[in-house]
Every structure is written in C-alpha cells, then in structure tokens.
Chain A
C-alpha cells in the first residue's frame, strides 16, 4: 500500500490565520490591571519602570525607526521632561499631574530644536554627531545650572500627586503610569497609521522620491521630532515621579545605550517592538547592578547580535507568529 505523498513546501497553500480584531489589544492593559495585588513594592517598582520606558521607546522609535534618521538625542528629551516636571513640582509647587503636559511640551520644543539641523539638510553621521553633542550639552547644563537643577547632586521631587491624591506607593503610581503608557501607545498608533505615518515611511525609504511626490518632508520631519520629544518628555515626567530624585548621571551615554537596546532588540520601526523591548530590556539593570560594566557589555553584545541576525528585532518574530502583530500603517 503506497502512502499518499504529501509534499510540504512553497507550493502547498499555507492556511490563513483567522482574522482577529485589533481591539483585542485592549485586553492587555485590562489583564494588567490587577497586577499590584500580586506584587510586592520592589517588583511593582520594576513594572513601573517598564511603563516609564514604554513612551520613551516609542518616542525614540518614531524618529530612528519610522522616520529613519540617525538622531541620538532621545536621552536629551527624556532629561528635559524629567527636569521640567521636577522643577515645576519643586519650585512652583505644582502637583505632578499638572506637570505632565508641560514636560511633554518642553520635550516637543527640544524635539523641534533638534530637528533644525535635519531641516537644514544635515543627515546621516553628521546628524548623529550633532544630536549626540546636543544631548551632552544639555547634560552639561543640568550639572552647571545649579540654582534650578541642583547640579550634580540632583534634585528631590515631591511624591506625585494626581487631582489632590498623593501617590505614595508603587501600586498607586502603577495605575497613573499604565494610563499614560496606554494613552501614548494609542496616540502614536493613530499617528503612525494616518497619512503622517505613511509620510514618515516614505521619507525613510527615499527622501528625494517622497519630496518629488509632493510630501512636504520638512514639515513631517519637524512633526516626527516634536512628537518624539513630546512622548519621551512625558516618559521623563513619569521617571521623575517614579524615582523621586533626578540626577544628571541618569541621562548620560549609558542611558543612551539602554534606550538603543530597547528599540533595537524590540524592533526598529515597530510600535509592538518598542513595548516589547521596554518590557524585556528595562528590567536588566535591576539584575546586574552589582556588576558595573556588565550591563554595557551585555547591551553592546545584544545589539551586535540583533543587527547581525535579527535586523527587525523581536517584533519580527512575533509578526511571523501571528498576523495580528504585524505593524499596520493604514486604518481598518
């Protein structure tokens, strides 16, 4: 009896996965809601830290992943957001929730400022060097502008306050952070799936062609930088609220490699990847704190491996698993 021969391969049709509606993504934050019931204060702090890095990573990814420009100034936006929030809370006595929007706006302003060289035609490595210098210059300002920033010793920020309710434990902060993380993810998702996001992609693929097609590339570059600054600035204000003490050393080049690792390992140009990277990479410093240097070594090797063997990051693995995770740049 001859067995029927089944030939797997490119000719056999692959079964289409059933279409799943995108509102299923809303189940993720819902499922995360009861988390503080199960975690102690320290674990909750680590989870909060992940939530801080969600806006930071998606903001960074908009510029380097979606727009495809080599800008190394994300840490600068992060620091500006944190210091704006901290200074407003400490010197003017504003409650934390009032400072979130100004922190985002200051970040957006810094983003707009950082886009000036890009608008003047500075590209590639020139832009990278320049934005690197911009970030380091800002760190110098944090250190030197002692009356406002507290210099190298930093400044202590009062515990965050939302509508008069003081968030004095990690579980309380968690809900505020979860809300902010969800809002920034949803808004960025809307942005990327609109014509703005498609314009970013066109600029990334071929800037001259995009300009020739009538896309006002200048405006979109400015917008991408400002949006990136805005989102990351909000992340900065969350960081200030979480840590409670801001020092210039938190915004140095080691922080830059951490944020790079988050975006690269998660997936360049992928919103899912940013969230995934934040969830996986952000916790690493907590484990390796006793071994100075190990973290840099680890992140360096990790990024090298990702670039060589998985250029689209972990998000590409996830996208292969199920089409729901494929990043879309159109509305359903």
Chain B
C-alpha cells in the first residue's frame, strides 16, 4: 500500500497545480475587489471553449491560447466594469448573485451552442510516459506543472519586481491610499478581474487537454478552486497555491486509501471542515466577525 504513495503524491501534485492556478485566479479578483466571483468557473469554461474556437480557425496551439486569454481578459474586465461596478457598494448578496447569474448565462450560452456535441482539444505534444524511478509521470503531468510554474514565476516577477507590480501591491494594501496618490482604482478593479479571468481561462485550457469540454466544467473547477482557496486562506496568494497542491494530493490519497468515491467530495469536505474549524485557512488573516 505504501509503495504507491510517491506515485499518488506525484500525480496529485500535477492535478494540484491546476487547482492552484484556478485558486490563484480567483484570489486575484478577490484581492482586488473583495468580491468572490461566483461565476469564475464559467470563465474557466469559456477559456477552454475560446481556445477550441480559435484552434478551429486553423491556428496552432500557442497563438490560439494567447487569443483566448486575451478575449477572456477583455470579457472579465468588461463584466466588472458593466455589471459589478454599478452595485459594488451594495449588499454582498447582490454582488454574489450578479456574479452567479453572469456565470449561469454564460453556461446557458455554451450549452445552447455546444451542449449536444463532444468537444475536445488536441494536445500540442505527444502523449508520452516517463519513468522517474518507480514513479510514472505522464506528459500531461509535465506540461501542466511546467506551464503553471512558468506562469506563476512570471507573475511573481511581475508582481514583486516591476514598477507595475508595485502599483498593484499598493492598491492591494490600501485602495483608498492608492486612490489618494492618483491611481485609478476603478480601472484597476476591471483590470484585475480581467487578469483573473485570463488566468482562469489558462486553467480551462489545461483542463481541456485531458478532459472533454462541457458547459458544466465551470462548477467542477469552481468548487475545487474554492476548496483550495479556503484551505490556503482567503486572499493569500501563496496560500492559494499551497492549498491547491494539498487538495490535489489529498484527492488522490483519499481516493486510493479509503474509497474512489471520495475523489468527488474531497473538495466539499475540505471546504466545510476548514470553514468550521479554522475559517482563516492556513495562511489567511482572521477576518470573521463574531457576535
């Protein structure tokens, strides 16, 4: 039983990279506007379908991916600008409902167009398998992990080492302060939602490499993104990444050592347990008000 442990951990980390990316994309939008995008899963779904459409125009993988990410960036920014900004000072319920409703509308649109077709993306690499000592590593695992690592690496360089990144850090620290020194906080909100949507779309593109696309894939990803985010602590970037990796490994462990049916509900169980026991997660700040 223990002999398969390293194998489970390795494939868990590969899936976890994907969850980490989705949790990270959720966190970007959340940190910028303190609104959780309940329609974020549909951004992931839309990213995968956009890639499919652009690939259908005869583009190869990389340009199609760039176009898809750009499209989702625009759509995410537009969503924030047109639908969220008018009600941003309203009750949280309307904000959550608005995001959820936009997501549902997108899902409905996807189902109308592609609901009855089986849509798959073609991998831009061959499906090889490597042996790493006793462990089997698939090309999918490598491609996903590599892509996510490169993406995260470039994002952290952008965030921590460039002037633009410093501006973003400033707004994250204090929106009012940033507005006082002349930063356009509204434009920043829209931009960050766009970045979140584009990152989510990248997650969707990766997911589409090994799963057939479906209009319902958004829910699946959103639940896992939430679980990773909750586990790592809401609003924490490295928390989101570590939470995602842990979630990926835990799914594999629970699924193997207890029962395969647990793979589906690991994310739910983690969400519920973490929020009940330690709502701040591993790295989040305690923000819950007790009365």
Give me the interface of A with B, judged by CB distance under 8 Å. 64, 68, 70, 116-117, 120-126, 128-130, 132-134, 136-137, 140, 144, 207-208, 211, 217-218, 253, 257, 260, 264, 268, 291-304, 307-308, 311
Would you call A297 and B291 a contact (CB within 8 A)? no
Would you call B268 and A140 a contact (CB within 8 A)? yes
CB-contact partner of B101 in A116, A218, A300, under 8 A: A300
Q: Specify which chain A residues have a CB less than 8 angstroms from the CB of B188 in the assembled complex.
A: none
Would you call B265 and A123 a contact (CB within 8 A)? no
Q: Specify which chain A residues have a CB less than 8 angstroms from the CB of B83 in the assembled complex.
A: 304, 308
Would you call B276 and A116 a contact (CB within 8 A)? yes
Query: In the assembly, what is the distance between CA of A31 and CA of B291, in Å?
Result: 47
Does B254 belong to the interface (CB within 8 Å)? Answer: no
Would you call A122 and B288 a contact (CB within 8 A)? yes
Would you call B291 and A137 a contact (CB within 8 A)? no
Could you tell me which residues of chain B, from 81 to 124, have a CB within 8 Å of some CB in chain A?
Answer: 83, 86-87, 90-94, 96-98, 100-113, 115-116
Instruction: Tell me how many residue pairs across A and B have CB atoms closer than 8 Å.
Output: 145
Does B226 belong to the interface (CB within 8 Å)? Answer: yes
Q: Which residue of B lies closest to A138 (CB)?
A: B268
Query: In the assembly, what is the distance between CA of A293 and CA of B105, in Å?
Result: 9
Would you call A125 and B93 a contact (CB within 8 A)? no
Q: Specify which chain A residues have a CB less than 8 angstroms from the CB of B101 in the assembled complex.
A: 257, 260, 299-304, 307
Would you call A68 and B104 a contact (CB within 8 A)? no
Would you call B261 and A133 a contact (CB within 8 A)? no
Would you call A297 and B92 a contact (CB within 8 A)? no
Interface SS of B by simple majority: helix
Q: Specify which chain A residues have a CB less than 8 angstroms from the CB of B289 in the assembled complex.
A: 121, 123, 207-208
Would you call B291 and A295 a contact (CB within 8 A)? no
Give B287 Cβ to nearest chain A Cβ, in Å. 9
Query: In the assembly, what is the distance between CA of A28 and CA of B233, in Å?
Result: 51
CB-contact partner of A296 in B36, B86, B104, B291, under 8 A: B104
Does B62 belong to the interface (CB within 8 Å)? Answer: no
Would you call B271 and A130 a contact (CB within 8 A)? yes
Would you call B275 and A122 a contact (CB within 8 A)? yes
Q: Specify which chain B residues have a CB less than 8 angstroms from the CB of A120 in the assembled complex.
A: 276, 279
Give me the interface of B with A, judged by CB distance under 8 Å. 36, 38, 83, 86-87, 90-94, 96-98, 100-113, 115-116, 215, 219, 223, 226-227, 230, 234, 261, 264-265, 267-269, 271-272, 275-276, 279, 288-291
Query: In the assembly, what is the distance between CA of A70 and CA of B96, in Å?
Result: 8
7 A–B contacts, CB within 8 A, in A order: A117-B275, A133-B272, A292-B112, A293-B112, A297-B105, A297-B112, A300-B101
Q: Which residue of A lies closest to B36 (CB)?
A: A125
Would you call A129 and B115 a contact (CB within 8 A)? no
Q: Which residue of B lies closest to A121 (CB)?
A: B290
Would you call B98 and A307 a contact (CB within 8 A)? yes
New A-B pairs, 7, CB < 8 Å, besides A137-B272, A299-B101 = A121-B291, A129-B271, A133-B271, A134-B272, A293-B215, A297-B104, A297-B112
With A116-B276, A126-B275, A300-B105 already in contact, the answer to whether A308 and B96 are too (CB < 8 A) is: no
Q: Specify which chain A residues have a CB less than 8 angstroms from the CB of B106 in the assembled complex.
A: 300
Would you call B96 and A304 a contact (CB within 8 A)? no
Query: In the assembly, what is the distance between CA of A103 and CA of B98, in Å?
Result: 32
With A122-B275, A129-B226 already in contact, the answer to whether A68 and B93 are too (CB < 8 A) is: yes
Q: Specify which chain A residues have a CB less than 8 angstroms from the CB of B87 in the assembled complex.
A: 307-308
Would you call B111 and A117 a contact (CB within 8 A)? no
Q: Specify which chain A residues have a CB less than 8 angstroms from the CB of B268 in the assembled complex.
A: 133-134, 136-137, 140
Query: In the assembly, what is the distance between CA of A301 and CA of B92, in Å?
Result: 19
Interface centre among B223, B265, B291 (most CB of A within 10 A): B291
Give B209 Cβ to nearest chain A Cβ, in Å. 24
CB-contact partner of A260 in B97, B109, B223, B271, under 8 A: B97
With A121-B289, A137-B268 already in contact, the answer to whether A303 and B97 are too (CB < 8 A) is: yes
Query: In the assembly, what is the distance between CA of A117 and CA of B272, in Å?
Result: 9
Would you call B261 and A144 a contact (CB within 8 A)? yes
Q: Specify which chain B residues have a CB less than 8 angstroms from the CB of A295 in the assembled complex.
A: 108
Interface centre among B97, B113, B223 (most CB of A within 10 A): B97
